[in-house]
Amino acid sequence: MSDPSVDPITAEIVRNAVVAITDEMKTNLMRTAYNMIIYEALDFTVGLFDHRGETISIGLGLPMFIRGLSDAVKAKLDFYTPEGIEPGDVLLTNDSYLMGSHLNHMIFTLPIFHRGRLVAFASSMAHWQDVGGVLGGQTRDIYSEGLQLPIVKIFKRGVQDRELTEIIRANVRFPDLAMGDFRAQVAAIRTGERRFLELLDRYGQDQVLGGIRLCFDQSERAARAAVARIPDGSYEAESFMDDDGVSVGRHIPVRVRVTVEGEEMTIDLSGCAPQVPGYFNSGPTAGRSAAQVAFKCLTTPRLLPINDGAFRPLRIVLPPGRVISARKPAATRWWMTVPMTVVDTIFKALAPAWPQGVIAGHHADLCAVNAYGVDERTGRFFLHVGVGLGGGGWGATQRSDGVSATVCINDGDTHNTPVEAAESRFPVVVEEYRLRQDSGGPGRHRGGLGTRRRVRMLTAAFLNSQIERTRCAPWGLDGGRAGAPNRITVLRADGEEVTFPNGKLDSFPLSRGDRYVVEIGGGGGFGNPLERPPEAVAEDVRLGYVSAEAARREYGVVLSPAETGEVGVDEEATRRLRRRLVSRSTTDRARRGDVTGGGDPPLARSREAADDGTDGSFPGLADGSGGGGRRRAGGGSGGQPPRLRP
């Protein structure tokens, strides 16, 4: 319980102060880091934690880091015990299974002592460009993925351990960049220490620490009130990943059960697939993070700071040995992909019970590729991590269209890299970067659009890609249709187009002049597409978001040139076409014996079939609309998305 002696005004000052401190830590790290993944893409996070490792405030770069720092701090406490930690120590690890992600994420933690008492920790996690390991995209165990650092003291009582530092330098391909990022992370946590001590000196330990406990309790009350608004019940849904990059075409099932009882929620991830031979595993922290991200979005998405109190009403069931709770030596290089789809599937499960609070499926992948080789112009080795995160479509909601060209839920605050920055540092030319027409899933509210990027190589190179969700398209809800899935192709300099069975390439050879094309998926639609106002469809056509053909086929809208020369709506022809489509849909539904009543099924099918000859639904699930008449939510996509015509 909160201390009644804590002044509520001071507590509110403390609340805002810890948010400001973590914001300043973020800014310092971003402005002093050496590699673009940190200072441009913002692939990092920072945080303050209490003496037990509970989250006080985190400055999220990546939402999926919501649990990683806290779990790492607690593990360091367990390893050294509070008595074994001294002022000036800096604790370091990149243990994949402990923090839930991959070896590129280095976690530095600084204990904060005030008047001889351990009161808190400042910590930072950031993505280093390289930590050794094989250059090829495919790995099958953690040992091939790079340098593994157990929990160590990289500083002991303020003195840097030079021997450990040299071991790190010797195991990375770009030691100057690595050491620059090393110093930036240490500077960030020292900033957190300094500002937190200033707060303690100004208001006193009792008021500051008591204010933090009060913030925890207030966050808990707000979360419980939000859960109480969701109808009680047990809700299920499932989706799937393409494959693990090793067993091509063998889907990885993602099954979730969400139980709401009063003010508490249980998210059961026991039905997720066992850990896989390929590199899409993650440690249990990632599974817990996925559940917490979904819970935060459903309950108190705008309440700051993000602290442990906000998750007290949440119980997570996650047995070990799943693809999101993998055990050593499972490969974890592409740890972030499956948890994103877990979040989307949790939203899908709750759609029948809480449609106003969820979102249709989104593209759910970084769609980041990397090329490496020796630049023929300079003779120097390069490792080009794509052109940043291009962004894709997010799902529509009950109230609005999905957003377009926005990074996936794993990466939250991360930015796309400016084209000019990438071209100035790497032997590439970005020839095309645009929205992908017709990629947003049709619906009463349309899914957001994905993007298309075409990149030409100025030197021979090898291309790695770990793109997922090329088969499981972002599903629609309540009769909405699916968005376009993700896709990668290679265009040879001689005009040949190379396609692939999935989105995964392992050291695929490129010649000078070859191009790779990354097409990022759109978001699923929400609601019956025939209920979208014809004027809104016409505006989408005017803006180039939807083609005239798709307007007619998917939305039943007939367009005609207006007197001004702009696109107009033929209202009478539109009414006739929509009546025919409704009649056809009713007849088709009767033939199928579809009596679920969980939302209208797709009202029109794309004239082109999916690559694998299916409608994109998960095997065994009957209704592609994402709805369901039972508490067990239906699954699968809302039908094939329209294909992009280059």
Report the Cα 573 to chain-centroid distance in Å. 42
Q: What is the pLDDT of residue 388?
A: 66
pLDDT tens, residue by residue, 521-531: 999 999 999 99
Longest Cα–Cα distance of the chain, Å, equals 80
> Which two tokens mark 626?
């994402």
Residue 245 belongs to some domain of the structure: no
Residue 291 belongs to some domain of the structure: no
Residue 300 belongs to some domain of the structure: no
Last residue of a domain, one of 221, 249, 268: 221
Residue 462 is inside which H or E element, if any?
Answer: strand 461-467
Strands ordered across the beta sheet of 451-457: 428-435, 451-457, 515-519, 487-491, 497-498
Q: What is the pLDDT of residue 641?
A: 35
The residues, any chain, with a CB within 8 Å of residue 264's CB and separated by 6 or more, are 224, 227, 313, 314, 315
Same structural domain, 22 and 161:
yes
Q: Are 196 and 211 in contact (CB under 8 A)?
A: no
- Name the residue among 342, 364, 198, 190 with its Cα closest to residue 270: 342
Q: What is the pLDDT of residue 597?
A: 35
Q: What is the pLDDT of residue 562?
A: 64
Q: Are 76 and 84 in contact (CB under 8 A)?
A: no
Phi and psi of 429, rounded to 5°? -130, 125
Residue 616 belongs to some domain of the structure: no
Burial per residue of 142-174, b for 16 or more beta-carbon CB atoms within 10 angstroms, e otherwise: bebbbbbbebbbbbeeeeeeeebbeebeebbbb
Q: Are 520 and 486 in contact (CB under 8 A)?
A: yes
- Domain range for residue 398? 351-592
pLDDT tens, residue by residue, 30-77: 999 999 888 877 889 999 999 999 999 998 777 888 888 999 999 999
Q: What is the pLDDT of residue 634?
A: 35
pLDDT at 324 over 80: yes
Range with the poorest average pLDDT among 495-504, 547-556, 623-632: 623-632
Q: What is the pLDDT of residue 466?
A: 93
Q: Number of H helices and number of E strands within the chain? A: 13, 22
Selection from 405-409, 470-474, 624-628, 640-644 with the highest mean pLDDT:
470-474
pLDDT at 540 over 60: yes
> Which two tokens mark 490?
């290679």
Residue 229 belongs to some domain of the structure: no
Same structural domain, 357 and 209:
no
| Residue 69, SS3 per DSSP | helix
Last residue of a domain, one of 158, 191, 221: 221
Give the mean pLDDT of 179-186: 98
Give the mean pLDDT of 309-322: 98
Last residue of a domain, one of 200, 221, 242: 221
Q: Are 632 and 350 in contact (CB under 8 A)?
A: no
Q: What is the pLDDT of residue 281?
A: 97
pLDDT at 109 over 70: yes
Question: Exposed (0-12), middle (13-18) or buried (19+): which is 312, by Cβ within 10 Å?
Answer: middle
Residue scoring higher pLDDT (640 or 429): 429
Q: Give this prediction's pTM.
A: 0.89
Q: Are 332 and 287 in contact (CB under 8 A)?
A: no
Residue 251 belongs to some domain of the structure: no
- CB atoms under 10 Å from CB of 494, counted, come to 8
The residues, any chain, with a CB within 8 Å of residue 577's CB and separated by 6 or more, are 552, 556, 557, 558
Split at pLDDT 50, 70, 90, the class of 2 is low
Q: Please provide the average confidence, as pLDDT, over all residues in the chain.
A: 89
pLDDT at 298 over 80: yes
Answer whether the bond into residue 305 is a cis peptide, omega within 30°: yes
E-strand spans in 51-194? 55-59, 90-93, 105-114, 117-127, 152-156, 159-160
pLDDT tens, residue by residue, 251-295: 999 999 999 999 999 999 999 999 999 999 999 999 999 999 999
pLDDT at 304 over 80: yes
pLDDT tens, residue by residue, 337-367: 999 999 999 999 999 999 999 999 999 999 9
Give, as one character, the DSSP assignment of residue 308. Answer: G
| Residue 260, SS3 per DSSP | strand
Number of structural domains found in the chain: 2
pLDDT tens, residue by residue, 546-584: 999 999 999 999 998 765 567 899 999 999 999 999 988
Q: What is the pLDDT of residue 477?
A: 98
Q: What is the pLDDT of residue 222?
A: 98
Residue 101 belongs to some domain of the structure: yes
DSSP string, 527-584: S-GGGS-HHHHHHHHHHTSS-HHHHHHHH---EEE-TTSSEEE-HHHHHHHHHHHHHH
Q: Which residue has the tokens 């797709």?
A: 602
Range with the poorest average pLDDT among 47-61, 157-171, 218-232, 593-607: 593-607
Residue scoring higher pLDDT (605 or 141): 141
- Name the residue among 249, 646, 230 with its Cα closest to residue 453: 646
pLDDT tens, residue by residue, 597-617: 333 333 333 323 333 333 333
Residue 194 belongs to some domain of the structure: yes
